[in-house]
């Protein structure tokens, strides 16, 4: 009798495991480089719990949208909310409305232990930028949200030529790296990029300016390889555990 029961249990387990494997899917996620630190933490946890596999090619927000517009296949996409909405209005098929998943602030990093730059007012910010010997940020031509915003800011302040004369350009998502490496006095980058560099401190640039925050939307493609798996991933990101993980990596939920 015991052998029969054990055999029945083994059969049941094999059926469950086989069903679980059948449901497992590859989930291709188009994500901004701003999400990388959070997904490095949360991705393996999601995969372990669900059996799904995340395929995560990281691009700048501009490059992500270019690929989506060109019809490149994805299951889940995360990019700037308003621009994502525009793509949907232009005919990009999504399974349900795009929703906000995270907010990322543009910050000014400096080396830990150094004096904190006083940028409490626009005039003080201008003075700090003028006094710095070198300022790093990602190449605006790559479409990074922080550097695109910063270019518009220095134009408005009338100091674009001065700042560009002492710029240290970095790869997309690495605007703060030259500061961490001692190649720039200060920098401009998103909070999610700076938080990964433990020898840097940072302060928000123009926090009252809505343009200084990148609001990311998430959407599931109506042509997803597995709608259920794609929805599972989005649900995980929006869970308390997912939100806490993103907070630890410089992102806020709103």
CATH of domain 104-212: 3.40.190.10
Residue 170 exposed, middle or buried by CB count within 10 Å (0-12, 13-18, 19+): buried
Reported as a single tens digit per residue, the pLDDT across 128-174 is 999 999 999 998 887 778 888 999 999 999 999 999 999 999 988 89
Residue in 152, 147, 159, 144 with CA at minimum distance from that of residue 188: 147
Q: What is the pLDDT of residues 59-76, one digit of tens each?
A: 888 888 899 999 999 999
* Structural domain boundaries in the chain: 2-102+215-248, 104-212
CA nearest neighbour of 79 among 101, 57, 56, 96: 101
Q: Got the DSSP string for 79-134?
A: EEHHHHHHHHHTT--BSS--EEEEEEEEEEEEETTSPPP--SSHHHHHHHHHH-S-
SS3 content of the chain, % helix, strand, coil (to 5): 50, 25, 30
Per-residue pLDDT tens for 228-250? 999 999 999 999 999 999 999 99
Query: What CATH number does the domain located at 2-102+215-248 have?
Result: 3.40.190.10
pTM: 0.79
């Amino acid at each position: 009798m015991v052998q029969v029961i054990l055999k029945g249990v083994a059969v049941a387990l094999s059926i469950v495991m086989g069903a679980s494997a059948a449901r497992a899917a590859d989930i291709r996620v188009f994500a901004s480089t701003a999400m990388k630190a959070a997904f490095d933490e949360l991705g393996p946890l999601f995969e372990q719990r669900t059996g799904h596999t995340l395929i995560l090619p990281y691009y700048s927000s501009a490059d992500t949208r270019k690929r989506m517009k060109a019809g490149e296949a994805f299951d889940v996409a995360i990019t700037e909310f308003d621009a994502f909405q525009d793509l949907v209005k232009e005919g990009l098929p999504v399974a349900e409305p795009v929703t906000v998943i995270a907010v990322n602030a543009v910050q000014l990093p400096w080396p830990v232990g150094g004096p904190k730059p006083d940028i409490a007012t626009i005039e003080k910010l201008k003075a700090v930028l003028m006094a710095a010997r070198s300022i790093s940020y990602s190449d605006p031509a790559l479409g990074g949200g922080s550097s695109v915003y910063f270019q518009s800011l220095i134009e408005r302040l009338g100091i674009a030529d001065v700042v560009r004369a002492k710029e240290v350009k970095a790869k997309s998502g690495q605007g703060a790296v030259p500061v961490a490496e001692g190649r720039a006095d200060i920098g401009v980058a998103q909070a999610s990029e700076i938080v990964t560099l433990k020898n840097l401190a940072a302060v928000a640039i123009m926090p009252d300016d809505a343009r200084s925050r990148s609001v990311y939307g998430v959407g599931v493609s109506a042509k997803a390889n597995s709608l259920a798996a794609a929805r599972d991933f989005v649900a995980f990101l929006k869970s308390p555990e997912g939100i806490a993980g993103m907070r630890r990596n410089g992102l806020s939920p709103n």
